[in-house]
Amino acid sequence: MMRRHAAEIVLWIALLTVPLWLGYVGGYAALGSKILIYGIAALALNLVLGFTGGLSFGHAAYFGLGAYGAGMTLKYLVPSTPLAILIGTVVGGLAATLLGPLVMRRRGIYFAMITIAIGQLFYFLAVRWNNVTGGEDGLAGFRRQPLHFGSFVYDAQSESKYYYLVLLCFAVAVVIMRVLLASPLGHTWVAIRENRRRAQFLGLRTDFYVWAAFAISGTLTALAGTLNAMLFNFTSPQDLHWILSGNFVIMIVLGGMRKFWGPLVGVTIFVVAQDYLSSLTDNWMTAIGLLFVLIVLLFPKGILGLIARRGREVAVAVAGPRAAIERSTATIEPPPAPLKQEMK
Amino acid sequence: MQLLLFNAFNGLIQGVFYALMALGLALILSLNSVINMAHGGFLVIGAYLAYSLAPYLGFWGALVVGPVGAAIIGLAVERVLIRPLYKRPDPLYTLLLTFGLALIIEDLTRTIWGAQGLPFQVPPALNSPISSVLFFITGYRLLVVGITIVAMLGLYLLLRYTRLGIRIRAGTLDLETVSALGVNIYLLRALNFALGCLLAGLAGVLAAGILGLTPPMGSSLIMPSFVAIIVGGVGSLVGSILGGLLIGVAAGITTTYYPAASEAVIYLIMLIVLVIRPRGLLGQEGLFE
């Protein structure tokens, strides 16, 4: 327990000091912001994927809706950063809330397929409604604005100051997710993931809880989208495309979907790898594709899952099986695999 | 009126491709429990193989070799990459794996054959319109419809009367029992996967003659095929065909009146179906719920 707190304190200190040291390891402030933004989205998606057990493969839709919501607010309505964040988040969250009932009853493959297909609707809207959205070329012509607190002005236009705004949003999102996961709602999600039918027999309205997970997750993903649009002062249909949805999912799996911080680890590795590979080779899509295949075949539990397993093995070797049991109660493991997936 | 007919017929052709894709996807979905995101990749493989071999084999030879090549590559992919994942019950892993494959195939196609579109030559005799009024009905388009009908009929006969087909249908209902009866379910799933890829390859060759060849042709056809399955109903092969044709024609007709909405209408139909009849037009009740 102590070790976990220590690790978390180190993480927050590292995040707070990113603009000071990132340059020395070959990064730049915008890369740090991008990792945190994708981190919000991946952590939020993991509420559905890792904690509720719903395979959502269409979260780019809410990310993109947030991005377009923020961009269009800045461009057409008011030049205000907080309002852009608010409106974008509400737009994406509303979409997730309204579309949730269409998927909340489904399971497994069907859940995935419907979320994939629904996600594409917004992609085509963005591409085809081009006099408002800018079509294939994307939405440009807006800038994030300085924040005014009375007479004090926070110049969010500088990259490192924007990083701290993103970090603030990240912290708020993390606190929200932490509180939810520790609450009865969060435990209900895990119960649904572990055995949905049993949860139903206990009298829980599982559909409603899956809906809640989907809506909250979509809202926070939209928040990430708004920040992403303002990071680049640009958004394009690629932010709504199913390839981005797939990237979010692989980042989560890479980091470890059963751990709260897993997605952030995966995001960091994936974003850095993507940044590096795209400068290295024209065939970076093949490289990313190979990354997918290798992760699935070699690291199905993700990096944090691997470390936790190692930790247990070490504990067994050092202190016998009892210590291992004590350790393992701290983490929630996936259920043993039944021979065939439940279909009816 | 003529314009409407023209667009509706165009939509029908498009729907034929969706239906062929959806049929293969639905086969793989129901027996292998895999959402094959790489299905568009197999379509591209079939199309480009046919394109490369057409100078040697002629059009008709390429029409056979393209789909068969896609099926053989599908067989290899299933054996090497997908088979190890059957023991993980979560569909997440095969979904991600085939997603990665889709990226790889699209990128390699671009590297090998170039990013620009390539034309696929069909025999000139097939390219002339049937009549001057219905100028849009060329021999090739009729051929596309004809071959698709033959393929679907063939699939029906295969599933209805052959031992393999009966086992596939039994496997979609209860794979464990089929296995307990002594059937080699690994071989069964491999053949089923190849069958699905064969249909994708066929769609690829036929589509190449109309739309031309581009590396992203697979990823642009796969999403409507998912919608076709959802609209038609998961678990119903006839439903997938119906769904594919329906959204194709609907998109075609929309093009007449409001071209910008031709894709959106596909997804709109899906939302309406999901709200009014969640299991799809011909889907079985309670499946995957």
- Does the beta-carbon distance from A113 to B175 stay under 8 Å? no
* CA pair distance A2, A332, nearest whole angstrom: 18
**Pick from A109, A117, A296: CB nearest B97:** A296
For the record, the structure tokens of B96 come out as 């991600």
Q: Nearest Cα to A105, choosing from B230, B285, B289, B90?
A: B289
Q: Choose the mutation target among B28, B189, B267 for the interface with A, i.e. most A CBs under 10 Å.
A: B267
Q: Does B101 touch chain A (CB under 8 A)?
A: yes
Which residues neighbour B28 within 8 Å (Cβ) at sequence distance 6 or greater? B34, B36, B39, B192, B193, B196
The sign one gets for the Cα dihedral A129, B278, A239, A30 is positive
Which residues neighbour A230 within 8 Å (Cβ) at sequence distance 6 or greater? A70, A71, A74, A81, A84, A85, A144, A162
A·B CB contacts under 8 A: 145
ipTM of this model? 0.88
For the record, the structure tokens of A86 come out as 């608010």
Residues 207-236 of B with CB under 8 A from A: 223, 226-227, 229-230, 234
pLDDT at residue number A329:
46
pLDDT at residue number A339:
46
Which residues neighbour A39 within 8 Å (Cβ) at sequence distance 6 or greater? A170, A263, A264, A267, A268
Instruction: Output phi, psi for A55, to 5 deg.
Output: -85, 85
Q: Nearest Cα to A11, choosing from A34, A31, A39, A42?
A: A39
Residue A26: which pLDDT band, with cuts at 50, 70 and 90?
A: confident
- Does the beta-carbon distance from B176 to A129 stay under 8 Å? no
Which residues make beta-bridge pairs with A154?
Answer: A147
Among chain B residues, CA nearest to A342:
B288
| Residue B250 amino acid letter | A
Query: Chain A closest CA to B151's CA: distance in Å?
Result: 26
- Does the beta-carbon distance from B89 to A338 stay under 8 Å? yes
pLDDT at residue number A91:
96
Residue A22: which pLDDT band, with cuts at 50, 70 and 90?
A: confident
- Are the CB atoms for A47 and A96 separated by under 8 Å? no
Query: Chain B closest CA to A187's CA: distance in Å?
Result: 21
Give SS3 for A27: coil
Decide if pLDDT at A147 tops 80. yes
Query: Chain A closest CA to B166's CA: distance in Å?
Result: 20
pLDDT at residue number B89:
81
pLDDT at residue number A141:
85
Decide if pLDDT at A334 tops 70. no
Radius of gyration of chain A (CA): 20
Give SS3 for A153: strand
Q: Which domains does chain A have, with CATH numbers?
A: 26-300 (1.10.3470)
pLDDT at residue number A316:
66
Radius of gyration of chain B (CA): 19
**Pick from B90, B103, B226: CB nearest A116:** B226
Give, rounded to a whole angstrom, the gap between the first and last alpha carbons of chain B: 43
Residues A201-260 have pLDDT tens digits of 999 999 999 999 999 999 999 999 999 999 999 999 999 998 899 999 999 999 999 899
pLDDT at residue number A343:
41
Residues A60-78 have pLDDT tens digits of 999 999 999 999 999 999 8
Instruction: Report the greatest alpha carbon distance in chain A.
Output: 67
Decide if pLDDT at A326 tops 70. no
Which residues neighbour A304 within 8 Å (Cβ) at sequence distance 6 or greater? A255, A256, A258, A259, A261, A262, A265
- Does the beta-carbon distance from B100 to A290 stay under 8 Å? yes
Q: Does B288 touch chain A (CB under 8 A)?
A: yes
Alpha helices (H) along chain B: 2-32, 39-77, 92-113, 139-161, 163-173, 175-180, 185-211, 217-232, 237-257, 264-276
Lowest-pLDDT choice from A44-58, A317-331, B138-152, B230-244:
A317-331
Q: Which residues of chain A lie closer than 8 angstroms to B271, CB-CB?
A: 102, 118, 121
Walk along chain B (289 residues) in steps of 10 and give the mean pLDDT of each run.
85 93 93 92 95 91 94 96 90 92 93 89 77 75 92 94 94 91 94 96 93 89 92 89 94 88 88 88 66
- Does the beta-carbon distance from A249 to B271 stay under 8 Å? no
Query: Chain B closest CA to A28's CA: distance in Å?
Result: 28
**Pick from A111, A113, A300: CB nearest B226:** A113
Among chain A residues, CA nearest to B268:
A121
pTM: 0.89
pLDDT at residue number A321:
57
* CA pair distance A126, A61, nearest whole angstrom: 11
Q: Does B111 touch chain A (CB under 8 A)?
A: yes
Among chain A residues, CA nearest to B260:
A128
Query: Strand (E) positions, chain A?
Result: 147-149, 152-154
Q: Choose the mutation target among A45, A107, A120 for the interface with B, i.e. most B CBs under 10 Å.
A: A120
- Does the beta-carbon distance from B35 to A112 stay under 8 Å? yes
Give SS3 for B138: strand
pLDDT at residue number A17:
86
Decide if pLDDT at A164 tops 80. yes
